[in-house]
Amino acid sequence: MGQQQATPEQDLPAGRGYGAVLSEPTRADIERAKVTDYARWLAANRGVSTGEGYGGLWEWSVSEPAEFWSSLWHYFGVLGSRGDAPVLQGGPMPAVTWFAGSTLNYARNALKAASTDPDRTAIIYRSEAGHRGSLSYAELDEQVATVRSALIALGVRRGDRVAAYLPNSPQAVVGLLATASIGAIWTSCSPDFGAHAVIDRFAQVDPKVLIAVDGYAYGGKTFDRQREVASITAALPGLSSVIMVDYIGTAASHPALPVRTTPWAALGDLAAAGQPGGLRPLRTEFDDVAFEHPLWVLYSSGTTGLPKPIVHGHGGIVLEHLKALCLHLDLGPGDVFFWYTTTGWMMWNFVVGGLLAGATVVVYDGSAVYPGTDELWRLAAETGVTYFGSGAPYLVTCMKAGLRPAQPRSLTCPGCAVSARPAPRCPLRASTGSTPQSRRRTSHRFPPGPQPPDLTRNVGALLLL
C-alpha cells in the first residue's frame, strides 16, 4: 500500500486548523509581556540565556526544574523563608522533596497588596441574590483577620479542616484565606450540590467547622438549603461548629442544628471576645507552614466510585499560580480577572489565585443566561473585566443565540434600545478599532473606562486555555 499523502490540514502545527486565528500578539505586546521580562531577569540575575522566543525558555524550565522553580520564588518575591536546603532532593518522581526547610503561607502572599497598595480593589462581587459591591485589599485583609480570629475561637488549629457549603461569594474567599492563615485546610462544595454528593466528599476529610448558606438564587428562582445543611451536619461526626451565612434571608427560620451555630454576621463579636481590649483585629496574622503543608482539598468527579480527595500544598500552589497567572495569562495589578465558576470547581481556586498577582477578581453567583444569554458579557463590561474565562458550553449557547459581543447592537442595553446606535457612554459599547496600542496585550486587555473589550478576543484566549 502506498504512503498516504498528507493534506494541508495535517501539515498545520498543533493548535492550528480549528478556524480563524482571532488574535495574535504584536512585537510590542511581546516586549511588554511578563514572560519576556522574566526571561530578561533570568539573563541579568541568573546568567541564564534562553534565546529568542518561548521555546528556549520552556526547554530550560523542563531540563533544569530546580533552577526554574527557585527562580520563580525570587522573581516574584514570594513572602516566606526560603531556607538553605536544595530546592529539589531525591528522585525519580514521585520520590522527591521540593523546597525542604522553606516556610510560607498562601494567605500572606495573596494579601501582599494589603500592605503595598491597600486601596486597590481586591474583589468585585455580584449575585442573583442581590449582593453586589467591592472590597479593597485593606477591607479584605480586615475581614480575613476577623474570620481568622473567630475560627481560632471556635477551636480551629493548624491541620484542622474547614469545609464550606457556599456559593461563589466574598464569604467563600474570606473563609479560604482565614483558614489558610492558620494553617488549617480548606475544602468546598457549591450549594447546588445535593446533601449526598457533599457528604461523599466532606465525610472523607472530617471537618471541624462547616461554613454554610441558607440558600442561593439561580435562574430567577431561590433555593432554600435548610434540609441539605441539616443532613450534611448530621453526617459529619467530627463537626463541632457551623457558621451560617444568611444569603437569601431565611437563616433565622431554619431549625436548630445539633452543633453550635454562629451567624456569619456575629463573627466580629466572636473575634473581638478573644482579643486584648475586646477589639476586632484589623490586620491578618499568618502562621507560616512548611512548603508542602496542605492548603486545600479538591475532589475528582466521582465517576468511578467515591470522589477522590486531591490535596494541594501552600508552596506548590503559590508558585504554580504565580507562574500560570502572571507568565502564561500575563495578569498583574490593574487587571480584572473573571472566570464563570462555582466553589465546587477547581477554577474557583484558580480565580482566587488572581490575588497572588495583585489583580482584582470578580466573583459572580448566578446563572450565565439569566435574565439574558448575554449576562456574562454584560457583567464583564460593567466590572471592567480584562481577562474573561468560561466553559465551552456557554460560548456554544452564545453562538446559537447569534450573539456577537464585539458588536454593540448584539447586546441588550436599555440606554441604546431607543437609539439607532450605541449611546456615547454605553457600558456595552465595543472598543474595536479604538484600543490604544499601549493596551493591546496578549492577555486581551482593554482601556479603562466605560468601554468594554472586543470580547471576541477574550473568547480566543478562552479557547486556547
> What stretches of 304-373 adopt beta strand conformation (E)?
309-313, 336-339, 360-365
Question: Are the beta carbons of 164 and 189 closer than 8 angstroms?
Answer: yes
Closest by CA position to 246, among listed 225, 220, 219, 272? 225
* Beta-bridge partners for 134: 124
Q: Which helix (H) or strand (E) holds 294?
A: strand 294-299
Written as tens digits, the pLDDT of the chain (465 aa) is: 344 444 444 444 555 566 777 778 899 999 999 999 999 999 999 999 998 888 999 999 999 999 999 999 999 999 999 999 999 999 888 899 999 999 999 999 999 999 999 999 999 999 999 999 999 999 999 999 999 999 999 999 999 999 999 999 999 999 999 999 999 999 999 999 999 999 999 999 999 999 999 999 999 999 999 999 999 999 999 999 999 999 999 999 988 999 999 999 999 999 998 787 778 888 999 999 999 999 999 999 988 899 999 999 999 999 999 999 999 999 999 999 999 999 999 999 999 999 999 999 999 999 999 999 999 999 999 999 999 999 999 999 999 999 988 765 444 333 332 222 333 333 333 322 222 223 223 232 222 333 333 443 333 233 333
Instruction: Give the 3-state DSSP-derived string for 82-98, with helices as H, strands as E and coil as C.
Output: CCCCCCEEECCCCCEEE
List domains and CATH numbers for the chain. Answer: 26-103 (no CATH), 106-367 (3.40.50.12780), 373-465 (no CATH)
At a CB cut-off of 8 Å and minimum separation 6, what does 67 contact? 46, 48, 60, 87
Place of cell 446563572: 367
Distance in angstroms (rounded) separating the CA atoms of residues 330 and 407 = 26
Question: Could you give the CA distance from residue 281 to residue 143 in angstroms, rounded to a whole number?
Answer: 9
Q: What share of the chain is helix, strand, coil (3-state, %, to 5)?
A: 40, 15, 45
Q: Three cell numbers at 271? A: 473575634
Query: For residue 415, how many other CB atoms are within 10 A of its CB?
Result: 14
